Chains A and B, each alone.
Chain A
Amino acid sequence: MTTQHTTWFKAAPISAFPENGGACVKYHDRQIAVFHFKQLDKWYATDNECPHKHQMILSRGMLGDQQGHPKVACPFHKKTFSLETGLNLQGEDYCINVYPVKVEDGFVFIGV
């Protein structure tokens, strides 16, 4: 782990993100999907791009769990990805980057 070099980017206030849903954050020319998984009391961040058809869409995906493991389903073709590891949960080859998230003073920060 190389966490010591993590840069924390201040994304938006907590209220900007729907509970048990996601929203997209712009960081320079990158797009990061941020999810407030309220049921688990956790925050997750991933690439906004779904690697299946390269669509900037995952922030509009649906949250859920598979045997207790948190996941997001892409709106286009229901490809599901682990929010913990970024791996595709249907056993397909592509995966997404996941980023650390912290919440401080009512704001959401993403480690980029």
Chain B
Amino acid sequence: MKRRYKSLPPVIRWLVIVFWVLIWQLCSYLVPYKFLFASPVQVMAAFGQLCFSADFWLTTASSFWKISAGFFLALLTGCLLAAFSYRFVIVRELLMPLIRLIKAIPVASFIILVILWFNSSSLSTIISFSMVLPVIYINILQGLDSYDEKMLEMAYVFRLSLVRRIRYLYIPALMPYFVTACSLGLGFCWKSGVAAEVIGQPAHSIGGEIYMTKLNLLTPELFVWTIVIILISASFEKLIMFFLHKLEKKISHLPRQGQE
């Protein structure tokens, strides 16, 4: 028999966080070299300082804009390419080696190539795009391939228009694959995007700031930037998932007469 997992009250979750912060503080006392490991207090102080500088917000906004642009471009391109690959076998055969190649190339090699070929200002956009594209393409194509042929026969017999087929048959069936693809892609885009910025050091970038903390041994600032990345990527993921669930609910109802 399976053991049931009982969810604990929210206060316990907060206490768990407090527990780990205390452990963090304790660890910082134990590490002899203070520049190697910042305490929560030092991080909070550094965060407070950075918060009041305009550069901090400019850097955060710039990285956010570039990395999320890469994500959305990959989302759009991945969906379109998957649709074409599903419809035309030749497109699928042409794209498959390319997608496999992009998946196989180490991200570091990719970053260096992009720096050589383009300028570093668009680096994080190109890298997050390249890392997310295969995830979106493969998941959406898998969803299309596994779509029930019998429903397509039904659509054919009832002569459903392409718009109705897409909206009421394909999109609801693809939604789980799309959600999975987005969730995986969001994780990839932030990790790869920031890694690209660390190597390429474009102006006004979180990655560039992280590189500077390494040069100047500013561990508290490194921790702050890391926390900022986690917060942005988690909030971004929550926001995207919120809209996806809204969309899911909306498409599950046919507009009544005259609304379509």
| Bind each other | no
Interface set of A (CB-CB < 8 Å, partner B): none
